């Protein structure tokens, strides 16, 4: 983790970043946003969450980068399960167990 | 009535809050940092993203603001949708209540007009949900110290698995799935092949969200 000051600052920045969206609309109650804007917004968290898992799959070495195949296999399984069950706890738990099992299977 | 409205959220927030506490512990966050995130930021997916930032210093505050702000931008629509229900409330009641308006709280409140006409009742629902989330965080963090080596159990995959679970919940259409695939592809190119660093992930995220959105528009 970072230093105490940088973490405290980051948390404050996060509070502002969150509340801009939650409290912002109170100031402009009359403005109507288009359906398109709303549609685009539903794509944004997907793009961000998908992008943020990528550093977990790629490790940088001296000669370019390497894929973490264990995590890639687990991700495919985990994501499929998530879409099928839409159960957050189940998906997370199974994902963790799959990684543990694959690690000791000697395949990776 | 209030407890009945909150119950589904409590059942969801306790275990997910515990997961957050556990992951925070695993990344060596002290209890007060984990609790500060749950108490002050109080935004599910954004808090998990916060773990990835804070555990990989140095991070730029701009990057933190931009990422968290974008992920939470959808709350803008939630607040805007809930606003007409609160016409009778005083301004400070609105500020007090909207501060706690998460996806799940919004979801249970939006159709409960009996609750919504009374600002205090709506606030009570919000606060109970908030309490469940924070209780979960504390239990998860304190429970974390009984798990010796996270790697031993595949727990180093937990955050990714959780992101995938959240993603699965967000993905409701083919266009959403296109955004998902596009973001993975662009991120691998930007971050992996071109080595453009973490900021390029946000660019990949924005481009792919536009791609999915435009594809969706083209079809209607």
> Mind listing the pLDDT tens digit for each residue in B64-104?
999 999 888 888 878 887 888 888 999 999 999 999 999 88
> Mind listing the pLDDT tens digit for each residue in A59-90?
776 667 788 889 999 999 999 999 999 887 78
> Mind listing the pLDDT tens digit for each residue in A32-52?
677 888 888 889 889 988 998
In this prediction, residue B11 has a pLDDT band, given cuts at 50, 70 and 90, of confident
Interface touch B19/A89, C-beta < 8 Å: yes
Q: Is the pLDDT of residue B155 over 80?
A: no
In this prediction, residue B124 has a pLDDT band, given cuts at 50, 70 and 90, of very high
Gap from B2 CA to chain A (nearest CA, Å) = 22
What distances in angstroms separate CA A66 from CA A54, A69, A74, A101, B134, one per listed residue? 12, 9, 17, 22, 38
Interface touch B41/A11, C-beta < 8 Å: yes
Q: CA A18, CA A12: separation in Å to the nearest integer?
A: 10
Interface touch A24/B49, C-beta < 8 Å: no
Q: Which among A11, A46, A75 is the nearest to B176, CB-wise?
A: A46
Q: What's the confidence (pLDDT) of residue B151?
A: 64
Q: Which two tokens stand for residue B95?
A: 């500020």
* Cβ-Cβ contacts under 8 Å, B155 against chain A: 96
Q: CA A62, CA B144: separation in Å to the nearest integer?
A: 35
Best of B25, B42, B88, B160 to disrupt the A interface (most A CBs within 10 Å) is: B160
ipTM value for the complex:
0.85
B171: nearest CA partner in chain A = A46
Q: Which among B52, B76, B166 is the nearest to A88, CB-wise?
A: B166
Q: CA B126, CA A93: separation in Å to the nearest integer?
A: 28
In this prediction, residue B123 has a pLDDT band, given cuts at 50, 70 and 90, of very high
Interface touch A1/B33, C-beta < 8 Å: yes
Q: Is the pLDDT of residue A15 over 90?
A: yes
The size of chain A, in residues, is 108
């Amino acid at each position: 983790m970072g230093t105490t000051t940088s973490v405290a600052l980051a948390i404050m920045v996060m509070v502002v970043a969150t509340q801009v969206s939650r409290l912002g609309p109170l100031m402009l109650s009359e403005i109507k946003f288009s359906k398109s804007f709303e549609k685009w917004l539903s794509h944004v968290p997907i793009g961000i969450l998908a992008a943020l898992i990528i550093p977990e799959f790629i490790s940088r070495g001296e000669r370019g980068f390497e894929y973490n195949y264990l995590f890639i296999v687990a991700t495919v399984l985990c994501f499929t399960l998530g879409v099928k069950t839409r159960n957050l706890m189940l998906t997370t738990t199974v994902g963790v167990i799959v990684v543990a099992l694959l690690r000791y299977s000697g395949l990776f | 009535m209030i407890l009945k409205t909150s119950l589904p959220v409590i059942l969801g927030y306790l275990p997910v809050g515990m997961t957050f506490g556990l992951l925070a512990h695993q990344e060596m966050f002290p209890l007060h940092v984990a609790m500060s995130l749950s108490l002050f930021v109080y935004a599910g997916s954004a808090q998990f993203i916060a773990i990835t930032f804070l555990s990989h210093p140095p991070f730029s505050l701009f990057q933190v603001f931009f990422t968290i702000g974008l992920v939470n931008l959808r709350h803008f629509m939630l607040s805007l949708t809930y606003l007409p229900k609160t016409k009778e409330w005083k301004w400070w009641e609105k500020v007090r209540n909207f501060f706690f308006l998460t996806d799940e709280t919004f979801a249970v409140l939006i159709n409960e007009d009996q609750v919504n006409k009374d600002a205090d009742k709506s606030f009570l629902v919000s606060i109970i949900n908030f309490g469940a989330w924070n209780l979960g965080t504390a239990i998860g963090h304190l429970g974390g110290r009984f798990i010796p080596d996270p790697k031993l159990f595949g727990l180093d995959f937990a955050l990714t698995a959780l992101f995938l679970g959240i993603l699965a919940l967000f993905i409701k259409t083919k266009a959403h799935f296109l955004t998902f695939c596009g973001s993975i592809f662009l991120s691998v190119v930007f971050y992996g092949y071109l080595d453009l660093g973490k900021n390029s992930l946000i660019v990949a995220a924005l481009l792919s969200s536009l791609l999915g959105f435009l594809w969706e528009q083209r079809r209607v």
